[in-house]
Every structure is written in C-alpha cells, then in structure tokens.
Amino acid sequence: MASETAAGHLDTPENGGHYRPPPFMSNGHVQSLFPALCRRVALRYTRRERIHTPDGDFLDVDWVVTGSRRLVVLCHGLEGDSHRPYIRGMARAFRRRGWDCLALNYRGCSGAPNRRLRSYHSGAYEDLALAVGHAADTGRYDAVVLTGFSIGGNIILRWLGRCPDRVHPLVKRAVVFSVPCDLADSARVLARPQNRIYMRHFLVALRQKIRDKMAVMPGRIDDSGYEGLKTFKDFDDRYTAPINGFTDALDYWRQCSSKPVIPGIRIPTLMVQARNDPFLGPNCYPTSAAAANAQVTLDMPASGGHVGFIAFNASGEYWSERRALAFVEDMGRR
C-alpha cells in the first residue's frame, strides 16, 4: 500500500516510496533519536570556505567536490551543522552518484560565533540565496538542487514560495524533510511534557549560542534568568524576535512559517512529513496547499519520525537519501 500523498503524486517503490521502518523501530521518538545518537557516517569534506555577507558577517560552507556539473545544497535543522549525520549521509549519497555538494552552516553554527547580533532563524532565506549565488558564480554548475531538514526545509520553502522570481535560475528542484511549516503549531507540540527531552536539548544548545555572543559583544545580550525559559515561545519572545526585527514570538512564527507560501513555489518540490513526527502538529501537514500546486509533491508516510527514516542496508543509506535522489535523478546525468 502506497503512503498518502497530495497533488496527485503517488508514492511508489519506483520513486523511492513505501517507507517501512526496521522491526521494533516504528515509534516516532525512536525514529527521531536513534540517528542522532547512534548513526555514524564516513564522509570527508573537500574544503571549507568562508563567504562574507553584505552586512559584514560571514557564512562557513563545506564542499564535496567531484568535478560534477550538478550541485546539491544542503540545509541543516535547528542547532545543527554540516557534520550532523543526516547532512553527512545525504552528502555521501549524492557524492556516490557523482554530484558536488555544498553544506551550509548557518550563522554561528560552524564553530565560530558570528559577528552580528542577528541570528539565524526559520525564515532567514537570504543567506541560502547568497550561498547559491556564490556557487553559481563559480561557473562550474548547470543545475542546483536544494535539500533541507526541519527548519532548513522551512527556509528553502520560504525562499522558493515567497520570492519565486528571485530564485536563481540554476535551481531546478528541492527536497525537504520534517518541516515545521506552521511554526506556532510545532512550538505548541514541542511544549508538551512528552517532548521535554527535545525542548531541553534545544534550550541548552541555544544558551551556548547566547553565551558565545555575550563574549564577542558584551553588554548587548545576556543570559540572566535563562533558567526560566521552558518553551520556544519563551526563547523566541526574549531573543529571536527582538534580535531579528519581529514584534514577538507570535509575529515571528506568523511571518516565517512556510505553509502560507507553498502555493507560490514554481519548481518541482518534494516535501516528506512523517505522520508520527513528534515535532509536528496537525497544521504542519499542508495537504490543501500542496494540492493547489502541481509543482509540490507532499508525501506523508505513516512512520519516519523527525529527520529519521532509518534503514539498514549494505550501503548505509537511509530511505530519505534514496527518496531525495529518486526525485531529482530525472534531471539527467551530466
């Protein structure tokens, strides 16, 4: 039986569909935690490059260079980086098929604190656009595809749907997984007691980001009373919203959720949202928005967790990696 899809696209074995979790690993929490804690991916990046931004900051990106005319740009999730197993796994899978890869590290996520008070956030697609333009300006590529996970997927969808006329013409396709496309809905779900383990992990990691900024810009930001923050609303009200020009958390979530702009996407885009994802509420399954846009394929397998989609095989590739490649492979070999 094929998993449920929107926009009339059927999830079949031929296009990478029919995700079935390994025995005893169908639980959404297991699917979410096992890859983060236990997966190891052997991959060596060719080089790191620093891209300077127009506002006096920088982005660090990691390259895998094979000499291909095709490039995949990878966007990580909240408090991730280019070395997370899901990024390394996707980069390895694309490299094996002869692609070049560019793994983006958001501001402050490469191991060095960024220079500006502003932070990366779920709607900050300008840095993605800058990195894609930088890669395109090398003249090495005929086609670029985008792959994002969690808020990385939200960033991609925001760029594609909010300003489709300004997306670089080399960008041909996009694949996103586990996207909190309704940020308020996802924040409500993550505030539930059963998700305390995730919320605590994010708040601890985000506090370190605040302390990094305190060290380089003393007096402009502080973490006094941080222990009182328990949810994303608490954090976004205090930090994300004021630092990045939003009124409050609700304003930030409203302006940066990708769900409202999905109808504006103009390139073939695959969106995979597991139904047992512990990070996503019911509003994060945009069936109506996807059905209204023939360019968008929405796959909703019963299992997969959050950025999970575990698979055990000789290649070490997860289902998500094969699903992404199946979606873009008809662009043709170069």
Pairing of strands 296-300, 4-6: antiparallel
Percent of the chain with pLDDT over 90: 91
- Check residue 2 and give its pLDDT: 39
A 10 A CB-CB count for 38 gives 9
The string of DSSP letters for 212-233 reads: HHHHHSTTS---TTGGG--SHH
**Nearest CA-CA partner of 72 in 154, 126, 15, 135:** 135
The pLDDT assigned to 225 comes to 97
What is the predicted pLDDT for the residue at 17?
55
Average pLDDT, the chain: 93
Q: How far apart are CA 239 and CA 115, in angstroms?
A: 16
Q: Is the pLDDT of residue 6 over 80?
A: no
Domains and CATH numbers, the chain: 4-182+258-331 (3.40.50.1820)
Task: Find how far residue 11's CA is from the centre of its chain.
Answer: 21
Cβ-based neighbour number of residue 137 at 10 Å: 10
Contact 104, 76 (CB under 8 A): yes
* Dihedral of the alpha carbons of 31, 146, 179, 253, in degrees to the nearest 10: 150
Query: Which whole number is the average pLDDT over 218-231?
Result: 95
**Is the predicted pLDDT of residue 10 greater than 90, yes or no?**
no
Q: Which pLDDT score, from 0 to 100, does residue 1 have?
A: 32
pLDDT above 80 (res 15) = no
Residues 282-330: pLDDT tens digits?
A: 999 999 999 999 999 999 999 999 999 999 999 999 999 999 999 998 7
> Model confidence over 141-199: pLDDT tens digits?
999 999 999 999 999 999 999 999 999 999 999 999 999 999 999 999 999 999 999 99
Q: What's the average model confidence in pLDDT over 85-114? A: 96
pTM: 0.93
- Helices 151-162 & 126-137, crossing angle to 10 degrees? 80
Between CA 323 and CA 129 the distance in angstroms is 24
What confidence category does residue 18 fall into, taking pLDDT thresholds of 50, 70 and 90? confident
Residues contacting residue 267 through CB under 8 Å, at least 6 positions apart? 160, 167, 171, 172, 173, 174, 295
The most distant pair of C-alpha atoms in the chain lies apart, rounded to whole Å, by 58
Contact yes or no for 175/309 (Cβ under 8 A): no
What is each CA distance from 197 to 191, 290, 304, in whole angstroms? 10, 32, 18
